[in-house]
Structure 1
Amino acid sequence: MTFDNDFPALKSSTYFNTAYVGLMSRSLYEFRSNFEKNYLLNADQYKIDAYDRLDQTHATIAAFIGSRKEQTYFVSNFSAGIRFVLDIFPKGSNVLYLKDDYHSLVEALEERDFNHFGLSIEDRIEEKIGQALTQNKFHALVISIVQFTHGLKIDFDFLHHIKEKYPKLLIVGDATQHIGTDLFDFESSPFDAVVCSGYKWLLAGFGNGFIALSDHFFAETNLSREDFYQKVFSGHFNILGAASLVFALEYLKANDFEKLVEKNKVLSQNLISELTNIGWIPEYHQRKPQSSIVSISTDEAVLNQLQDQGIRASYRGKYLRFSMHFYNSNEEIEKLITLLKQSITV
């Protein structure tokens, strides 16, 4: 299965940068163009219809991520959503997090009057989290499922273990670099809250995302579902963004999302293997499970050289970051490896 015709940007570059911005499909572009005509022609009815559809919007998101519809909320992006969630925590809460996690997550925490306990990121991060939990009583662990710089993916089995050991602990996850790359079932996951933007791996364009909350989250925070709903929807919402998210989720399902996930994993593993073969050892490449982000510790000048050859990637922290999605191919990996071997100096 190839997607070249539905993702025109693939014709002008070799795109390994979905972790920064997911590609827009031609299908989504046409949908958005037609959808906005309704606003042009029908004015107020456009907004009325959007609110009438909001329940179904939440049902579509909930079905995709395995959450409960009445505890799933559309938001405009991760940065807004994580602040809605953190606002529920009382002042003085002890919060455990990673100091070099996604900057918007860290900033949202540090903006608030919490007791902050930050850990450095390393290969044995689960062990460090476990040790920290024995030393203090924490209200919450707030963490990205996949680290945006180098792709380290937190071990779900470990999170289940600490949930059993510390049953009152709330685990809040930034799911933006995870959902869309792998299957995810919120209800069976160790998370009490996840927040996700839709413009990366879900390929939904800008202006959309979602929050999902667990029963445990509501019980521990004494929060009512109605109050949280009113907090999230205190003003108008991004109508085009919401419709685009629904379209994108249905697009993934229509194209057999489980097979797309499998292709993504195969491509990412192939990239890891090929880079290793030429002496470029990806960060955390021996951890299980792997994410769809493959990063190399090197100079930013290498990215500039690759961009001159039509390779799109990113430089984050000290890492050259490649991010594979289902619309990539083994031929593109071969092109990258050839360039690295023949003309790129580390």
Structure 2
Amino acid sequence: MDKLRKGFPVLKNYTYLNTAASGLLPEKVFEFRQDHDLDFLVSASVLKEKQGEVLTEVRETVGKFFNCAPERVALVPNFSYGFNTLLEGLEKPKKALLIKNDYPSINWPVESRNFKCFYAEIDAHLEDNIRVALRKHQPDFFAFSIVQYINGVKLSIEFLKEIKKEFPETIFIADGTQFLGTEIFEFDSTGLDVVISSSYKWLNGGYGNGFILFNENVTGKIQPKHLGFGSLQGKYKAHEGNFIGKFEPGHQDTLNYGSLSVALKLLQTTGMDKIEAQVQKLKDFSKEKFSELGLLEDFVVERKEHSSIFNIKGDDKLFKFLRSENIIASQRGAGIRVSMHYFNTVEEVEKLLQVLKSRR
């Protein structure tokens, strides 16, 4: 376990149960960022001449990590930029299916445009609710979080594979920001059309970088309109009007995208199998203990599939007390959200439990 925690100095100062808000910056990523900016300081445009090579390497690293061909990987600064660019490339009006109370960066951009919106309710039967809504409304696209940001409710990849087969004409657009980095994920085997993700949470890539993974069949259904000098620069953007280039106009930030590449390589070195096993251990233990104390919503306890994000019952006083004990969490919805990544331990969860019991 000490090996898994090595390289995250924050863990020496806090019981950090807040990756769902902001992932930790690994020392290796910090060192890369220092070296990059030092190179820029002393070489300026000489460094930037290598931008195409750097971005090609990042794209290939992302593609390899998530099993998606690099020519179907777009590099974007964050989820919202990529998602809004994609929405502008969809013909209007169209019918959209959303999950009620999903992350605002998903629902708000759809609702603010000329789409007719329908919703699936989040409860113990979320999967059934989605299936019923898809059958009833026959939406042109379904935009959703794989893991819900408030309470950690998770849609299994197996369910998504199954439901996509039933509705092949609906464009499935998934937000992976609260999911990618917690378990092995092979995009091409899922059947999903689009997965968009920021990298500052579970991938520990820092801010200012993200990516989009595209199914090879989706490009004709989306017509993005953004264009700029950067749209034609690089190994995978050789021709005018190419698809991923329309998500990458202008000069790209080699500091931030390079940080993503370093972060993914660190996860690879650690081993996604080990990371998945540790996250599974933590979420199983946490769910059992939180359930015993009556800290979770009933429908969350009922559900078989869940993430390592939990919204526990607690008010502002409890939140401030946790912070006084150097336990870092977030206030979300009506409770306190805690989240565990692979560098966390059962002992840290037990410390949280002891503090919670002392306040009852």
Query: TM (normalized to structure 2)?
Result: 0.91
Structure 2 residue matching 1:107: 3-state secondary structure: helix
Corresponding letter in the other structure for 1:216: N
Instruction: Name the count of aligned residue pairs.
Output: 344
Q: Following the alignment from structure 2 to structure 1, what is the Cα–Cα distance between the partners of residues 307 and 329?
A: 16
1:100 aligns with 2:116: no
Range 215-224 or range 164-173, more displaced: 215-224
8 Å CA contact 2:62, 2:73 repeated in 1: yes
Q: Following the alignment from structure 1 to structure 2, what is the Cα–Cα distance between the partners of residues 122 and 136?
A: 20
Corresponding letter in the other structure for 1:17: N
Corresponding letter in the other structure for 1:248: A
Corresponding letter in the other structure for 1:66: N
CA shift, 1:101, in A, is 0.7
Aligned partner of 1:153 in structure 2 is 154
Aligned partner of 1:270 in structure 2 is 285
Q: Following the alignment from structure 1 to structure 2, what is the Cα–Cα distance between the partners of residues 89 and 12?
A: 47
8 Å CA contact 1:168, 1:220 repeated in 2: no
Range 80-89 or range 188-197, more displaced: 80-89
Aligned partner of 1:67 in structure 2 is 68
Measured against aligned partners, the alpha-carbon deviations of 1:119-155 in whole angstroms (never above 9, x if no partner) come to 3322211111221122222111100000000001113
CA shift, 1:5, in A, is 4.2
1:291 aligns with 2:307: yes
Aligned partner of 2:193 in structure 1 is 192
8 Å CA contact 1:81, 1:211 repeated in 2: yes
Structure 2 residue matching 1:187: 3-state secondary structure: helix
8 Å CA contact 2:74, 2:245 repeated in 1: no
Q: How does 1:150-189 map to 2 (within 5 A)?
A: 150-189=151-190
Structure 1 residue matching 2:300: 3-state secondary structure: coil
Aligned partner of 2:120 in structure 1 is 119
Range 51-60 or range 308-317, more displaced: 51-60
Q: 1:316 aligns with which of 288, 307, 332?
A: 332
CA shift, 1:227, in A, is 3.4
Q: How does 1:19-98 map to 2 (within 5 A)?
A: 19-98=20-99
8 Å CA contact 2:102, 2:145 repeated in 1: yes
Instruction: Give unpaired runs (5+ residues) of structure 2.
Output: 226-236
CA shift, 1:156, in A, is 2.9
Range 139-148 or range 230-239, more displaced: 230-239
Aligned partner of 1:218 in structure 2 is 219
Q: How does 1:203-282 map to 2 (within 5 A)?
A: 203-221=204-222, 226-281=241-296
Corresponding letter in the other structure for 1:266: K
Aligned partner of 2:322 in structure 1 is 306
8 Å CA contact 1:144, 1:173 repeated in 2: yes
8 Å CA contact 2:78, 2:210 repeated in 1: yes
8 Å CA contact 1:74, 1:211 repeated in 2: yes
CA shift, 1:223, in A, is 7.5
Measured against aligned partners, the alpha-carbon deviations of 1:198-234 in whole angstroms (never above 9, x if no partner) come to 1000001111110011022124347898433232221
CA shift, 1:4, in A, is 4.3
Aligned partner of 1:330 in structure 2 is 346
Q: Following the alignment from structure 2 to structure 1, what is the Cα–Cα distance between the partners of residues 291 and 35?
A: 46
8 Å CA contact 1:101, 1:148 repeated in 2: yes
RMSD: 1.8
8 Å CA contact 1:77, 1:209 repeated in 2: yes
1:110 aligns with 2:105: no
Corresponding letter in the other structure for 2:260: L
8 Å CA contact 1:150, 1:319 repeated in 2: no
8 Å CA contact 2:61, 2:261 repeated in 1: yes
8 Å CA contact 2:172, 2:193 repeated in 1: yes
Query: TM (normalized to structure 1)?
Result: 0.94
Counting aligned pairs with the same residue, the percent is 33
Q: Following the alignment from structure 1 to structure 2, what is the Cα–Cα distance between the partners of residues 126 and 315?
A: 27
Corresponding letter in the other structure for 1:324: M
8 Å CA contact 1:23, 1:203 repeated in 2: yes
Structure 2 residue matching 1:202: 3-state secondary structure: coil
Corresponding letter in the other structure for 1:323: S
Cα separation, partners in 2 of 1:338 and 1:170, compared to 1, 3 Å = same
8 Å CA contact 2:55, 2:254 repeated in 1: no
Superposition misfits of 4+ residues, deviation over 4 angstroms: 222-226
Corresponding letter in the other structure for 2:248: F
